[in-house]
Amino acid sequence: MKKQTVLLMACCLIPASLLADELTVRVQLADGAAPVAGAVVYLNTGSKPPPVRLEMSQKDRMFHPHVLILPAGSSVDFPNQDNTQHHVYSFSPAKTFNLELYADKPEAPVVFDQPGVVELGCNIHDHMQAFIVVADTRAIGPTNEQGEVTIAVDFGDAQTPDSLDLNIWHPRLPDNTKPVVRDITTASLTSAGIETVSIELTPEPSLEGPMNNLQKRFRNL
């Protein structure tokens, strides 16, 4: 199937003298200019958020939410709300863990202390998949139904850098283990106001289908 191309446009609210408090980003498909919801956009700024404790539940044999955004050092509970057992695991370099067959909720949460993209699966239900995006920045957020997100930009007492890494991640990137990174300069943002990059997305997957590579690795252990 043909891959889709995504066009990202960053509409930057940055004055000439210093970096502004907010950055608005719009993500849309190049063909037809349709907006892309659920893309995670972030800058690696000097401002780091405190850890939190959240949940990723299993209900109707699906993970909820499908994508969870966390500050580094945060912990996640995995309550099972189904009437069947689940076996949640990840082999991702940012966090490898294994919650063996269980009902209800594991006693201890899983701590995600390293930035990166964590792909989750269930060894019992092959179609189940979810992602946790762990970041060390406050300047992060998902695009809405209009393909837009406004993120806070705060370097604290640090000097504003000459360039910034704009990270764009989506579950359907050809390599969804890491974001697409684009270098953008403060000067170009203040003068042009818009940065554009194109990225590819794979087609929407079916809910039921053959085992993906992550699940095959688990079965081969």
pLDDT at 63 (0 to 100): 97
pLDDT at 66 (0 to 100): 96
pLDDT at 163 (0 to 100): 78
C-alpha 14 chain-centroid distance: 25
Residues 76 and 111: their CA atoms lie apart, in Å, by 6
pLDDT at 23 (0 to 100): 77
- Render each residue's pLDDT in the chain as its tens digit; 221 residues: 555 555 555 444 444 334 456 777 877 777 756 788 899 999 887 788 999 999 999 999 999 999 999 999 999 999 999 999 999 999 999 999 999 999 999 999 999 999 999 999 999 999 999 999 999 999 999 999 988 888 877 766 667 777 788 899 999 999 999 999 988 766 544 444 456 667 778 888 665 544 555 545 544 44
pLDDT at 117 (0 to 100): 98
Give which of 26, 24, 43, 44 is closest to 35, Cα–Cα: 26
Residues 211 and 205: their CA atoms lie apart, in Å, by 12
Strands (E), the chain: 4-12, 22-29, 40-43, 53-55, 57-59, 62-64, 67-71, 74-77, 86-92, 95-102, 110-112, 116-122, 129-135, 140-142, 148-152, 163-169, 180-185, 194-201
Q: Residue 110 is encoded by which pair of tokens?
A: 């899983």
Burial (0-12, 13-18, 19+ Cβ within 10 Å), 87: middle
Instruction: Print burial letters for 146-160: b (CB count within 10 Å at least 16), e (below 16).
Output: ebbbebbbbbeeeee
Dihedral sign computed on CA atoms, order 175, 73, 44, 57? positive
- List the end-to-end C-alpha distance of the chain, in Å, as a whole number: 31
Is residue 19 helix, strand or coil?
A: coil
Peptide bond before 109: cis, by omega within 30 degrees of 0? Answer: no
Residue 201 near residue 172, CB atoms below 8 Å: yes
pLDDT at 155 (0 to 100): 66
